[in-house]
Structure 1
Amino acid sequence: MALPLGACGSRSDPAPTNTITVAGETRFTGSVAMFLPNDVFTVSQDVPLNSWHDFADATTDSLEDRGFEADHVRTYADADLERQSHRVQDYVVDALDGSTDSAGADPDAQSMTLVVAPAAPMTDTVKRYGDYATQSLAQGADAEKNTTDAPLDESLSRMSRALGLAKKAGMHVVVLATPLPGFTPDAFVSLCSAREIGRLQARQLVSKLQLDSVSRYNPKYIEILLPYTEDSDHLELDAAFAREAFSGVWEVIGPYFRSGVVLSPSMKTTASTTAQDWRDVTIEAADTDGIEEEFRQRLGQPANGEGHVRIDGVIAMNDYVANGVVKGLNALKYTGSAADINPSITIGDIVGNIAGRQDLQKSRVPDPKRAPSPGTPEEVRQKNQKAQNRWPIVTGFGAYISAMPNIVNGKQWATGLVDRFANATNLARMCMAFAQGDSLDSLDFVSMQDLYGQNVPTMSLPLLSVSAGNMKTELIDPGYITLAEAGL
């Protein structure tokens, strides 16, 4: 049974006025009802940091901080879109309760805001990126294969009709994360799209490897591991997400492949690769052992781990895949850490910075424009060995607690996550504007963007990029994780 996460009230309560003053403080008596999916994972360290329950708590706190009464903020969680669509429908019908006028408007409804994050089917592949990942619910031409999911279509239709009725009656509707086909909300909040995840990790690699100063005479070697499951129950959703994620990666990293300054050890990506070739870099990511084996094969490494193939960077897409990559690099006896690469930072420096004892102040050590000139056979062998067995930059996403030790010790260079607190704060500001009858135009974080052919006020905050150097300021100080969870 789906149960409310927060206080639950009936719309039969006396209709409030817009504001009241309590002990000299102005309180909004408008209401906010949040309809969110259930959390995908149970409590574990090997999962993405953010969850819907956390988002509900953060948003509720922000709403109350801005003057909303606690019993006028309600949160409901449902396991799937069918149950959620019925709940939204029942809520809207009960809220209106025959009080609309001949035009279908309800004067009391204008102080109500519905916040809906569609409980889209969450596949095993997509859930590794976190609860807030945007999915495509569009059918037909936009899907990977033209199939009809009747229960899903019925739920989408029911949800759209209910929310359309709510808007007609004067309620405001904010859609979170995943847009609803055929429905235009009063505002849309994009928390975490596949394309943004791809761009983030590619930019992390470009910056850390200083690709803008690399020459094709001494190129960098990068692999992209894109998790994708062919036998998914929702193949079209998985395919759409993987395709968008690779598009984001290739938008940033593709020009470096085309110019010849970046190569792939496996040759799965080349100068002629396009965004449509996303399937070339997909891997099965059911478990870390399988990821490790696939990564070995990408490098062409023998089972005994003898010899090394040069690898400077790995875009692993999420922290689960990154963990399998780290295991593979350890098994293959790669040495050092990402802290040794541009700039040179020791593990002691990183730990000291995270603990708040010192800043990272190290000079950059750029690679030469050309590969080292040949010397004696022994000198060449030593130079090649040093370059080939050096630990690469590994990026992921999700800010798994289990990934924190790898980030602290430099084995995984970077992760990413949604700035939950900033999004919750700004969502509360949007709800406050609606409750006051104000426009969203004055909110600097809102811009007009296209949503299924309609211009809709949209909030899309940058994802947080986290490495050892800024873990303290981005994760520990705000309260996302503790020092103990960081392995300190």
Structure 2
Amino acid sequence: MVRVRKHFLSKAIAAITVFSMMLFAVCACGTTTQNTASNSIKTRVNHGSVIIFTPSDGLNLSRKTPLSTWDTLVPEIIKSLKKQGFSENSITTKSSSSLYDQSQDIQDYVVSMITSLKTKNSSKNKNKKTSIRDVHSSVKKQLSNTTIVVAPWSNKNGNNNYGDYVTQPTTPKEQLKEEDLKSQEEAENRLTSSLDLAKKSGMHVVMLSRLTRDFKPDAFFKLSSAQSIGEIQAYTLVQKLALNQASKDNPKSVEVLLPCHNQKQNVHMHVGVNTHGNSDSDNSSYKLQEFDDEFARLAFAGIWKILKPYFTSGLMISPSGKLNKDSTENDWENAAFDADNSDSVKAELKSRLVIKNDNETTSTKHVDGIIALDDQVVMQVEKALEDLGYKGSSADINPSFTLPDIIGSFIGKRNLTKKKVPTPASNAKNNESQKSSAKNDYLNSSESNKENKNAEDSELKDSSNELLNDSKWPVITGYGAYKDALPNLVNGKQWMTSIENIQKISTDVAQECSSLNVNGKLSQLEDISIFVNNSGLEKNIPVITEPILAVSATNLKALLIDPGYVTLADAGL
């Protein structure tokens, strides 16, 4: 009987144990399910909405324009916003063909959003005692997850060589007609007041490329500027020419071409010495054009910031004498020329690089590098150099060097210019003293003739080497990544072009939109510092300056072809 009871008790304990384990498992599963659901709720963030206002590019089928267009950037921003968690329905885009239209579009959007939410909130709370202040507070809270991204329409003064993203200098009021000036000021004021209303109502505002006066956005993205375009070309040229290996005895020869547009042809004839430099051309009289191009002036400031130390130290010279060790950034007009004439580039290079010899023949000067500023000018430079007899490619110069972020190292290579051929020593030995004096005279005469001939051959080789060196193809830099320019980038006629980092810009803009909508403040971006200036138009505004990319044959595929901005066919591959 005792055994039966013990057996029964054992079975009961075992059953209770199994039941307890099953119950624990069920509870655990329930807890896991609840935790998963809870985590899912936590990670489901409301990113709000974004509306993007940009100038319209218009229909442009030309391949002779930069890749930096709003039509290229906006789709990339949309992709990046979706990666951040924004739904497709929460993203809106709007393009406008003028500042007048754009300011009107933004005003309509802001007023419509505020009015709609106020009406909705008032209707919802009409049976409750809700004050106007409470309605405003509710509307502001709802609008706090909305960001307006606006690239204000800007006047390019008929010059599209630098694309859409560059911050254009403000057009002086005296250059505008009274009617145009009035319309522009009206549109600018409407844009400012509309964005002010948006911020006061709780929305966030991010501006691209330029600011509008008297308005402080949450963030300003400076995508590129005249200074940065000039600076990156000078910087990469200095590296390509291996200036760290140059010397005063063997300086590098560089020409800076500053294309100016929409000039008034204000030309004066001066008689006397050409104060622009020490050119070998005829100095008895020369034409001096007075230029008025703020973009060119600012671009030269960026160029001269990099090149001035090399001119000052004697490591770099200008073959034409347009620039020298005493030049300052105020001497930008010395390097400027009117670029609106189709033959102006060729005429400019001819005046700088062609020497008129005494025997009425011409020869060319040696030039190591040419900063052409934009790819349109680069293509004209290439044609002009070919016509002047220059041969080779940029790849022949310091061939070991590629752009800093590409495979390759910046190491020294032997000078590609051949050294002077030494005069061969006489191999004749007069060891036969018993020979007749007549024979000795004959031998001496023969050896003398050989030495003279060898010396003449050496001089011819030296002259030939010098001519080859003077007609060697220079390093040429530009901007814009024009599709028509890409084949010459591949074959080395053009060393580098430059363009804004479209992928990085779109990623950063999307990240800040998400941060503003979700957290109400900006977030720290990768590799980029956010500065708040203490003066000027950007005073007390967080400024995000995006770096410009340097593109050459070595990284063309990774930067432009793989992302889909250009095709292999565009690059001539």
TM-score interval, normalised by the smaller of the two chains: 0.7 to 0.9
Q: Specify the code of the residue in structure 2 equivalent to 1:320.
A: Q
Question: 2:166 touches 2:209 (CA, 8 Å); kept in 1?
Answer: yes
Shift of 1:220: 1.2
Residue 150 of structure 2 is aligned with which of 116, 124, 139? 116
Gaps of 5+ in 1: 1-20, 351-357
User: For structure 1, which segment, 455-464 or 329-338, has the greater mean C-alpha deviation from structure 2 after superposition?
Assistant: 455-464
Higher mean C-alpha deviation, range 170-179 or range 33-42? 33-42
TM superposition score normalised by structure 2: 0.72
Q: Is the aligned partner of 1:255 residue 2:309?
A: yes
1: CA distance, partners of 2:66 / 2:355: 30
Task: Give how far 1:439 is off.
Answer: 2.5
Structure 1: distance between partners of 2:346 and 2:43 = 58
Q: Which of 215, 233, 242 is matched with 1:210 structurally?
A: 242
Alpha carbons 2:146, 2:517 under 8 Å: kept: yes
Name the amino acid aligned to 1:459: I
Supply the distance in 1 between the matched residues of 2:381 and 2:58 (Cα, whole angstroms). Answer: 24
Residues 163, 300 of structure 1: alpha-carbon distance in 2 compared, 3 angstrom cutoff? same
Equivalent of 2:364 in 278, 293, 308: 308
1:191 paired residue among 209, 223, 226: 223
Match of 1:7 in 2: none
Higher helix residue share = 2
Q: Check 1:368–1:45 CA distance in 2 against 1; reply closer, same or farther (3 A cut).
A: closer
Per-residue deviation, 1:78: 1.0
**Match runs of 1:445-460 below 5 Å:** 445-450=528-533, 452=537, 454-460=539-545
The DSSP-based 3-state class of the residue aligned with 2:51 is: strand
1:286-337 alpha-carbon deviations (Å, 9 max, x no partner): 25533222222222367x9952211110000000000000001111121111
Match of 2:555 among 451, 456, 470: 470
Cα contact 2:144–2:520 (8 A) shared by 1 = no
Pairwise CA distance, 1:344: 5.4
Map of 1:135 onto structure 2:
168
Distance in 2, Cα, partners of 1:156 & 1:92: 16
Provide the rounded CA distance (Å) in 2 between the counterparts of 1:115 and 1:313. Answer: 40
- Which residue of the partner structure matches residue 48 of structure 1? 66
> Which residue number corresponds to residue 166 of structure 1?
198
Is 2:149 aligned against 1:66?
no
Q: Which residue of 1 aligns with 2:395?
A: 339
CA distance in 2, matches of 1:324, 1:59: 34
From the superposition, tell whether residues 213 and 372 of structure 1 become closer, same or farther in structure 2 (CA, over 3 Å): farther
How far apart, CA to CA, are the structure 2 residues paired with 1:25 and 1:40? 41
TM-score, L = length of structure 1: 0.84
SS in 1 for 2:540: strand
Instruction: Give the aligned partner of residue 395 of structure 1.
Output: 477
Say whether 1:405 aligns with 2:491.
no
Deviation of the 1:214 alpha carbon: 0.9
Identity of aligned residues (%): 36
How is 1:33-432 mapped onto 2 (pairs within 5 angstroms)? 33-39=51-57, 42-97=60-115, 99=117, 102=133, 106-125=140-159, 127-137=160-170, 149-231=181-263, 239-286=293-340, 288-300=342-354, 306-343=362-399, 364-367=412-415, 376-432=458-514
For the 8 Å contact 1:136–1:178, the answer to whether it is kept is: no
User: Take 1:238 and 1:74, find their aligned partners in 2: how far apart are those partners?
Assistant: 40
The runs of 4+ residues in structure 1 deviating greater than 6 Å are 21-25, 358-363, 368-375
- Give 1:379 deviation, angstroms: 3.8
Quick check: 1:39–1:51 contact (8 Å CA) kept in 2? Answer: yes
**Matched residues in 1 for 2:42 and 2:398: separation?**
56
For residues 390-437 of structure 1, give each alpha carbon's deviation from its aligned partner in whole angstroms, at most 9, with x where no partner exists. 000000000011111111111000001011111001100000001102
Please give the alpha-carbon distance, in whole angstroms, between the structure 2 residues aligned to 1:78 and 1:377: 67
Relative to structure 1, is the Cα distance of residues 402 and 369 closer, same or farther in structure 2, using a 3 angstrom cutoff?
Answer: closer
User: In the TM superposition, what whole-angstrom CA distance separates every residue of 1:1-27 from its partner, at most 9, and x where no partner exists?
Assistant: xxxxxxxxxxxxxxxxxxxx9999836
Count of residues paired in the alignment: 450
Report the Cα offset of residue 181 of structure 1: 2.1
Instruction: Give, in whole Å, the separation in 2 of the partners of 1:371 and 1:269.
Output: 29
Mapped contact 1:448–1:455 kept (Cα < 8 A): no
2:47 touches 2:518 (CA, 8 Å); kept in 1?
A: no
- Structure whose alpha-carbon radius of gyration is higher: 2
TM-fit CA distance, 1:217 = 1.0
Deviations 1:247-277 (A, max 9, x none): 1000001111111211112211111111112
